[in-house]
Structure 1
Amino acid sequence: MSATRDYHVDAIDYATDAGAVHQVRDVVFVQEQQVPRELERDALDPLSHHVVARDASGTSIGTARLTPEHRIGRMAVLSAWRGRGVGDALLAALLDEARRRQWPDVSLHAQVAAEAFYARHGFLPEGERFFEAGIEHQTMRRVLAGPGSIAHRAEAVAITTAIIAQARRALVVYSRALDPGLWDAPAVVDALRRFATRQTGAQVQLLLQDAATPQRALAPLIGLGQRLPSVFAFREVQDPVDLPYTAAFVANDDHGYYFRPLGHRFDGEAGLSHAGRARQLREEFSQMWERARPVSEYRALGI
């Protein structure tokens, strides 16, 4: 059991406590989303690992399941409890169970409206969107054992968002020129804004090889840095020893990193539970940061 504010999350025995599951799912899926009850309940329910969130009085307020197919699903939270961390707690409980079973990864079918929520937890989109029970969905997957491979922009945006969300107080970014398609993606900019404003003492250090190009392009992170100068710091590589560096990366002060061997491409590897690799990148960054020049011209740019 994990205590969280005024609710808690437990694993339940579906054979004896199915009512706690369907009490929530009937409201969310059948009543709110108009999913036929015969589609909402299936043969996987008795075979799956279920978790239920309950309030202080013991009333079910959320539920989710982990199927034998290594898939997370039927994530549902009553409307009055949304936005209070219940979904995060349910998802964390299922990820812990998947790790306990030593599964290498888990997948899910995310309703498109919830795609950003799962991205913040390290799930990456796979394939094209599709309709299920009349609702548009996106397949997403999270690697649990070892780093995951990143190949496309959508994956790059999702993992970067997750790394920002996971950060405690510090992020370091090494980028060629605030790479278009990644550091100007609305989801990434929004994640940085939330991080900068929610966390006391938050710090984001951005080290660039080319500071002029994003300045000419009016990159949104420059404007964000102007509004929050105590959080964002920009420097540009100038030491000859650093100029040939071709990679790009982001790393946080927890366990998350995303490394691209070629900084102009999205291809790379990433993980959210690799403290050693994240620490190595931060140390490498720190050395280059000390040799770099502050980008003072960003402070004077009118956006």
Structure 2
Amino acid sequence: MDFQGFFRKMKHDPGDPDPWLALYLDRSLPIDERAKAAFLKSQRSTTRRVVMPIIRPFARLSISGIKLMKILVPASWQSPWLLHRSIYWGLRLFVAPEANYLILRHFTIGTEILKFIEDNVPGIDIQTTTPLRTRRLEDLLDNTFTVHDLIFYNFIIELNEKLRADGREIEPRKEIDFSAITDDDASIDDLPNTWRNVVDLQTAIEIYTPLYALFLSDHHFWRASNSLQLDEIIALYVGKILNDPLPVALVHNHHPMVPSSTLEAGFRLTLHGLDSETLHGHLRKLKAEATRAAAQGARAP
């Protein structure tokens, strides 16, 4: 789908400039152009402007009510099966193509960022993570959202256990291995695009967050919510490998040792998506520069 064409067709009116056109044309963030267009088109939508501010307080109130209800429910009760099927049918029936595109794409770029770190820490072979490359909404039915959270925790635990055992830390690399970073935007197949598919990304996230609280145990919901603040840790790993502080400046979910309230999970989940896109975009840009430099070196006499 041509998300960029939506902005290319827009006419600039100096007397009434469109804020989202300005952000689309701006190139200060290293983010994939198609993903940025999809994100901004979603943010510019009527549902984001009108419905989301109404939904958000009710969603947060629902989370509080569910947490109170969970006091009376056995701590072990949860149903990831119901959670993922609720999300799947909501995405298929009501969520806009640009939002579905970004959701499916998210798991691929997360997989590539973790693999980049693993490839650039010598002697490390992570065994506890599973690559996620989602291309269809049906791919989400295999507990993909909860597995995604577990992957990040397991990656950090296994990586640091092995580094501690060897008495070493992540260090800058002279020769960076960018093989994990690709231009694969998941080429999303058969995204639903009916008259019902109008809900934007952020509104959908605000609606789905209470479902996490409902269908996961309180412990698992807190863990999923706090995983969003791992963005800072991942960016620090990337920054150490590159010997560059910029990756940390590109993320906004900070301080995992001081967890934010689960009531803010919907907003921070949107930030998590943007953090992942900018970090992956930065690595794509560096890979392209390294490829060009290598090609020029090969042509030099």
TM-score normalised by the chain length of structure 1: 0.23
TM-score normalised by the chain length of structure 2: 0.23
> Which has the larger strand fraction?
1
Name the structure, 1 or 2, with higher relative contact order (CA <8 Å, separation 6+): 2
> Which has the larger helix fraction?
2
